[in-house]
Amino acid sequence: MTGSASTAGQGFMLRLLPSFGLTWAGKPSAIPVRAQRLVVLLALAGRPLQRGVVASRLWPEVVNSRANASLRATLWSLPRDIPAIVVIENNLLAIHPGVDLELAEARELALSIIEGNHGVEQATRARALLTEDLLPDWTEDWLDIERDLFRQLRLHALDALCVGLAEARHYASAIAVGLASVACEPTRESAHRALMAAHLMEGNRMEALRAYHGYLELARREMGIGPSGQMEALLQAALADDARYESITLR
């Protein structure tokens, strides 16, 4: 959910990667922790929610009356020196329609990359928006699915961008993105394959072999498994003296 006023720095900006941050007109706005939970729940929902639904999700371990009382107290604790970030209409609660959600920008970027937009400018934005999980220190059950969905989306985007940049011969950017993807999830083989492919397309077989053996050691130590056939194919390409690397992909 975005607003033109926010984009110009005159409205709300909500950041969740990797921690909670709220600004109004470019200035930080501090709100209590439990109010942060309310704001995030409504922002991720992207639509108005019934009060009872909100209360039961935020306080699932207590009876309805106490959950509703906690919700009323939370609403009262929201700052009053800025416009209301939570809109109340009858029995419905919603996030302010002008909130610029950083997560929405990150999702749009990831989808654009997966669909084939692999420019150098995407590399800079990807390293800023796609290398952190959604609120990793929060333990709320209602956040788990959103966090897992975004994690899968961003990791697939990083892998695709690494290979796409290498295919376009933007090798330095490709390798930087590949290393970022490996750092995000070291046990994920596809990230290592993307990095290895980028090294091969640049003609750096020793770097590709170093990436292969680094993953091999990690996979055996952490999971007791070896590399897939796809990674073995990249190994054979690295070992072949007459190989051409311009068209190596992960597919």
Domain boundaries 102-239, corresponding CATH code: 1.25.40.10
* DSSP letters for 71-104: HHHHHHHS-SSS--SEEEETTEEEE-TT-EEHHH
Rounded CA gap, 229 and 244, in Å? 19
The answer to whether 161 touches 129, Cβ cutoff 8 Å, is no
Tens of pLDDT along 102-161? 999 999 999 999 999 999 999 999 999 999 999 999 999 999 999 999 999 999 999 999
DSSP lists the bridge partners of residue 95 as 86
- What lies within 8 Å, CB to CB, of 5 at 6+ separation is 11, 98
Give the C-alpha separation, 231 to 233, whole Å. 5
Q: Is the pLDDT of residue 4 over 70?
A: no
Between 242 and 179, name the one with better pLDDT: 179
* Residue 240: per-residue pLDDT: 87
pTM: 0.89
Q: Mean pLDDT, the chain, as a whole number?
A: 92
Average pLDDT over residues 165-185: 96
Range 4-98 classified under CATH 3.20.20.70:
no
Domains of the chain by residue range: 4-98, 102-239
> From CA 184, how far away is CA 196, in angstroms rounded?
16
> Does 18 score more than 60 pLDDT?
yes
Q: pLDDT digits over 230-248, tens only?
A: 999 999 989 986 555 554 5
CA atoms of 85 and 76, how far apart (whole Å) = 12
Find out whether 87 and 93 touch, Cβ atoms under 8 Å.
yes
